[in-house]
Structure 1
């Protein structure tokens, strides 16, 4: 609920700026609050604290400003529930019948599709409707960060070529075109030009990862892109992707790979495998050696009772018995904090004073 009277939905990971908002009530005024009235057929209202004559109904009529309140529904067999279902604000009714059965109905939804949620799909991926289900897919030239969690977004599957600028940069990339695309980031360049000029301009620009075109207007965008969706309308998107020769781990397309015999290839594979094995064993031995040295050093510091600088960056676990002993049975209370009281204590035989908070769980 914003101070200006608007009820707004933002992605959980955003900084709550206007560009992040994906649904709002368009109500403006001071002192407004949101209410769900159960005894008024589940009416969702935004009301002014100072006057009951000033309010706005979200449900059942989101466009009506009313001038009075008339509570006329006394149905004790129905309860109402407003929820955020994976980012979509919805209102449900639960009606209980005399025979013991009950019925759940969705009365209202702020959004018609989960794709309208900013951040439903991660960076460099787009949301689309597939059989009335919202689905995340990667933009061309990208693969899922985690195929089992498609909402985490996608990463580039090719390495960037050196930036030569102009025609030198064009030779390293292709353009993939997608229609009906929108995204929420602000372009770094916008100008009037033809669709062909828009695509060519993105190819020549080292900073351009994609361009949106509509009605002779071109907007160039850097990667990463966010809040991308594919739906009716929208823009024609031109996405710049590298040639197959520039795939991660690939070769320069101007230098075709040399032909080698099977025996030479097998020898190379064996040598590389053996080298990695020896390197892995050496790193494991070295890591264990370093770990033992650090453990011995830390134990020595603990025994001396003077942790110095490492104490500031190293966490130490205490048992409840140790903390009780350190505070003399939580005897001397220093004050009250959030979720519990703070007690005076000492460690290392009284050489170091500490404050111990004991959580109070209600």
Structure 2
């Protein structure tokens, strides 16, 4: 519960944000049947103050439809993208305001609506507002659709992220399709960051506001740079206020790297500042999901680098953060005496945020941990630290270098004679993780399964 003074201060802030977000000014400069084109003017519709544009912007080998901050370098600050996971369109596309809403017309195609108007009212006009919000009006100038209700990776001053809504990071600075992280305004009142490829459990979170239990809060950003959670008489400030000015624009964006940042843009000085970061990590590897399954993150030259487990290759060598999979079509499975088909490879100094499927084992020799895994049909890998052995199953998640180098990971691999490939083979990917291989006096009996079925299983990892 805020003090009386802070609560009065909040009411002023809240009133300002609510007025901006919930009641956009009624101004219309786009009439029905007006069209935009990717390479022929007009390519965009400007806000009255000229700060924001809605229209086609170049992406990959084509064009996407979105909103961007005009004053940013090369108009590169995209704050919203339509149908972000659809491929870019070609230069012969047309975007037209119809009574159904915004319709994208494509050559040799019927096209599609990019604004899903939920009411039965026809669209009559539209406007790109000075707030960065694109709105569609009916004939009474009531807003029937707006981009502020459908955020992608950014909220602007005056915008609200309601309970149950989320922001999803972009894939890269030049690819605005859905990326690897999302910020969820949960119904329990907690604002939480998770990797997209996770079940969104508390164990998967790498940052949270700690407001769970307050219930149905919403995230607000106002025109003074206040970023806060509010519902009823409950308020939780994430930042202090900064300053207001006619040339200042505030936005909060979930970055490609999974960090949620508050920015200010001074349009007069043409500068951009980062005012706050959530979480404020100095090591990118602390962001869960920076590297995909069966890979681990090591921090080098100010950035995280993803490395594969021994016996694994990148799913996509051009996008190493996507994770890794076995470089064989045969799984290790169980062993039988004297057939020399499986062996153990060791990786020093990497930790994994995974639960053991069996009770931890107490032992003093780390080699015994590898042997215990090799003998267990269910064990894919084992983690030894502080005289404790934990058996694990693939996929391994959230791997990162251990700061004190006190952890050993044992990985069960398949010999070449059993359809595998020695880890130190010349055919091994040159970018694979450096390892120390320790071949044990154990062997395995491998169940041979069709490549098609195994490939399907591997694709789940």
The reply to whether residue 126 of structure 1 matches residue 296 of structure 2 is yes
Q: Does 1:20 align with 2:209?
A: no
Aligned twin of 1:89: 260
Does the 8 Å contact 1:169/1:204 carry over to 2? no
1:6–1:37 distance in 2 versus 1, CA, 3 Å: same
Matches within 5 A, 1:26-65: 26-28=210-212, 29-39=214-224, 42-47=225-230, 49-51=231-233, 54-60=234-240
Deviations 1:9-66 (A, max 9, x none): 1222333222322221111312422122332xx222122x221xx4222225xxxxxx
Query: Would you say the 8 A contact 1:126–1:227 is kept in 2?
Result: yes
Q: CA deviation at 1:82?
A: 0.5
Stretches of structure 2 that go unaligned for 5 or more consecutive residues are 1-184, 423-461
Note if 1:106 corresponds to 2:289. Answer: no
Can you list the C-alpha shifts for 1:68-103, whole angstroms capped at 9, x where unaligned?
Answer: xxx683333322210011222111111233xxx321
Residue by residue over 1:234-270, the C-alpha shift from the partner in whole angstroms, topping out at 9 and shown as x without a partner, is 74322223345445389xxxxxxxxxxxxxxxxxxxx
- Structure with the greater relative contact order (CA < 8 A, sep ≥ 6): 1 or 2? 2
Determine the structure 1 residue equivalent to 2:413: 241
Q: Distance in 1 between matches of 2:187 and 2:407?
A: 34
Q: Are the structure 2 counterparts of residues 170 and 226 from structure 1 closer, same or farther at C-alpha, using a change threshold of 3 Å?
A: farther
Judged with a 3 Å threshold, the aligned counterparts in structure 2 of structure 1 residues 162 and 95 are, in CA distance, closer, same or farther, namely closer
Counterpart CA distance in 2 for 1:36 and 1:26 is: 18
1:187-266 matches, cutoff 5 A? 187-189=356-358, 190-194=360-364, 195-233=366-404, 235-248=407-420
Q: Within 5 Å, which residues of 2 pair with 1:331-342? A: none
Distance across 2 between alignment mates of 1:170 and 1:46: 60
Write out aligned runs for 1:297-336 (5 A): none
Q: Over alpha carbons, which structure has the higher Rg? A: 1
3-state SS, counterpart of residue 200 of structure 2: coil
Contact 1:161 1:246 in 2 (8 A): no
* TM-score normalised by length of structure 1: 0.57
| Higher helix proportion | 1
- Are the equivalent residues in 1 in contact too, given 2:327–2:421 (CA < 8 A)? no
Go from structure 1 to structure 2 and tell me whether the alpha carbon gap of 1:26 and 1:235 turns closer, same or farther (over 3 Å shift): farther
Q: Closer, same or farther in 2 for the Cα pair 1:245/1:130, shift >3 Å?
A: farther
- Evaluate the alpha carbon distance shift between residue 26 and residue 169 of structure 1 in structure 2; reply closer, same or farther with a 3 A threshold: farther
Deviation of 1:123 after TM superposition, in Å, equals 2.0
Residues in 2 aligned to 1:33 and 1:168: alpha-carbon distance in whole angstroms: 63
Query: Cα RMSD between the aligned structures?
Result: 2.7
Query: 1:184 maps to what in 2?
Result: 353
User: Deviation of residue 170 (structure 1)?
Assistant: 7.5
Separation (CA, whole Å) in 1 of partners of 2:339 and 2:310: 19
- Distance in 2, matches of 1:162 and 1:22, equals 33
What TM-score comes out, normalization by structure 2 length?
0.45
